[in-house]
Structure 1
Amino acid sequence: MDELALLGDADQRAHRYLATVAQRRVFPDAGALAGLAAFDEPLPDEGAAPSDTLRLLDEAGSPATAVSNGPNYYGFVIGAALPAAAAAERLMLAWDQCASTFDNSPAAATIERIAGRWVVEALDLPRESAVGFGTSATACTLVAIAAARRALLARKGWDFDSDGLTGAPEVKVVISELAHITVKKALRVLGFGLKRLIVAPVDSCGRIDLARLPALDDMTILCVQAGEVNTGEFDPFAALIPRAKAAGAWVHVDGAFGLWARASAKSALTDGVEQADSWTADAHKWLNTPYDGAMTICRDAAALAAAMNADAVYSMASLDAQKNLNLEFSRRPRGLPVWAALRSLGRTGVAAMVERHCALAARIGEGLREAGYEVLNRVVLNQVLVRAQSDAQTVAIREAAQASGEVWFGATLWQGRPAFRISVSSWRTQETHVERLIALLAALRERHSG
């Protein structure tokens, strides 16, 4: 089979998969999981036919997928891939560009520059900000914190690039009591030490408590949240950030999914967030692009470019080249699906999608309360945090829902006790899907009561 025929076969298989996402089990059954054994082969001495490799991937792999690209997946704030973004990704693969610099790919460099400008405009952040397209919120947080530490040390006259950290003035980090694990991972990898992090207590909704905010100074990085992962709540930026800025601190916002509220009628939740120094956001969550697409946004473009500079004698580029704004030198043009999503949606489309998901989440909260569940959060965004009559019942219902194949959502702990978290973030999810979810959970509660 020649190259074009093979790609045509792949397209047909992809078409069949997408045509059935609404009918597929949201999580594979035991038979599909057992079928994964077909991949457990010895490394072949002689290569298999590409068509046979594709066949195996589809026949054994497709049934064992979690159908997060469908309408009934409510786990981990995972959005489905918008058609325009998925189509752009397919063409991007055909281009096979190393999107480090303009010299590598004029098309990619141009489109990613425009995508960055559109992201900043959609989120109404400082227009001078630089945008680096990376793999995930974890990687992009690492980039932002590295730039922040370097900038704070430079203010004290310390040359981080030449002298490293040995003997350097201490940079302190203040994080929320409920900071996301990816923020903690980035800080750990950067060498801050989890025991040395300063923890800011939170209120009953999961927001940093202003009355108990630790002391800040001009050698502090304050990490705040736009969208706490369980409750969907936002730290009080309008009061927090001016206090931090007055002390000379650098403020970083973990906005993996919640920052997109700023592009909608929910923007009041983000009031004051534009005063921060850096932000991270995922496109593969609420913007519904394919994985892996995220972004570091930094008000001080020069600080980000200096921290991430990857110029070499054989590859010099402008400060806004993507290799100078994120971790990767050799990279795919992750900003292309972002550009395609924003161009296909426009401002009104982004707002409508965010607002619809928030309304659907509110309906889930209302329906589950009526069914006798305890809804633990205020449902200010797209997150619904739920508990049944007892811890054992909560776990049993969640496991039964997952086993049904009709829906999928994950477990969590809230204030030390089991709960489950329902996230509405797929462009495919409509009112009919939400009503079926409510009906299923109502029936499961009745079945497991007592």
Structure 2
Amino acid sequence: MNTPRKVVFYTLGCKLNFSETATIARQFEEGGFVRAGKGERADICVINTCAVTEHAEKKCRNIVRKAAREHPGAIVAVTGCYAQLRPQELARIQGVDIVTGNHEKGMLYDQVAGLLGRGERTVEVHACAAEEIRSFFAAFSVGDRTRAFLKVQDGCDYRCAYCTIPDARGASRNIPVSELVAEAREIAARGVKEVVLTGVNIGDFGRTTDERFLDLIRALEKVEGIERYRISSIEPNLLTDEVIAFCAQSAKFMPHFHIPLQAGTDRVLRMMRRRYDTARFAERLDRVREAMPDAFVGVDVIVGFPGETEADFDAAYRFLAERIRPAFLHIFPYSVRPGTPAAELPDRVSPQEAARRVERLGELSARLHGAFYDRFVGSVRPVLFESTVREGQMVGFTDNYIRVAMPYRSEAVNRIVAVELGEGRTTSSGYAGGEECLSGRPLEIG
């Protein structure tokens, strides 16, 4: 009997990439391949890359070299945003066999299978211009049966001054609502209770099918078996009153929003070519909180954008700390992206000053996050528990995205349980949101 070939996967970047890697992995498993265990040598290495920052690209190159070094003789296939933007750069790395951009990402399995059994190999590069990226690679990832990430949209028609995503992912596009409902039903059949909707600009859903994001979430709510949905990220100008109202009355869409701000002053927002001002952003958050007072709202912020003065940063800090007070800040130091308008702007902020600003916002985020948690100590919230066990504890999330820990009980795994949130915050390794969680006392299991 032939020994199955082994494959290993590396994913960098966003949840969208993780959903796509998971789908590619299923294609390999359906083709008879098995995943290489820890320390095992693989026959095939698949690296799904990110290019959101210079640091991300450096990390991708290091992972590619590491894969080729640790799995000598393996077919090394590189795909994703970095592969789309700079395919030849990756093709020059020793050991790389295939570089595939985002247009043909869904065909990666067939491309790799076509190389098997060949003798001498030459590097294959499958790339095209961003304008030619029209395919939609339907994808979802399932981890421990508790939560899945469902890709509902790809690409972006916005041209923010700092961003390469339109060149890496192409124009905004999607598949019909009916096909995404079918994907959600497949996820539900696997016993998954929670689905996170992912994409590049998901609020722009419907460009290619003459539908709306509101149509999508209305249809998904009707899928039996899925008990929770979360919207991974939505632009403030696309977070409409109708979407907010629907989520507020929905039994399945959670009071949890991630809304990119990027800059806290109108001057910098204009330089970034964003499609709103601070007043509009604050008004959207006010509307969310009016409809869902307990909602968790996370916010993206870029610091050190060219031309951002000390006065700009101080004003942005006050806007965050005093006006909108989100539950969490996801902070990025500005990274020069070649070919973007921002790369040509004068008045660069020094790395040292950018790091200082990141640190200040990090301290603010910790305070805001802690204050949000403290609001709910002593209250009872529904928690969906995961199967992971760390030091005898199991963890899960409330509807409004508070991480909760309690002593492990197998009957609580993948169940929504009413939990009284305890005093004090403890750390839980691997949690990006400040590694904090509240203790929990289940009120009923059984």
Please give the TM-score of this superposition, normalised by the length of structure 1. Answer: 0.27
Which of the pair has the greater relative contact order for Cα pairs under 8 Å at 6+ separation?
1
Please give the TM-score of this superposition, normalised by the length of structure 2. Answer: 0.27
Q: Identify, as 1 or 2, the structure richer in strand.
A: 2
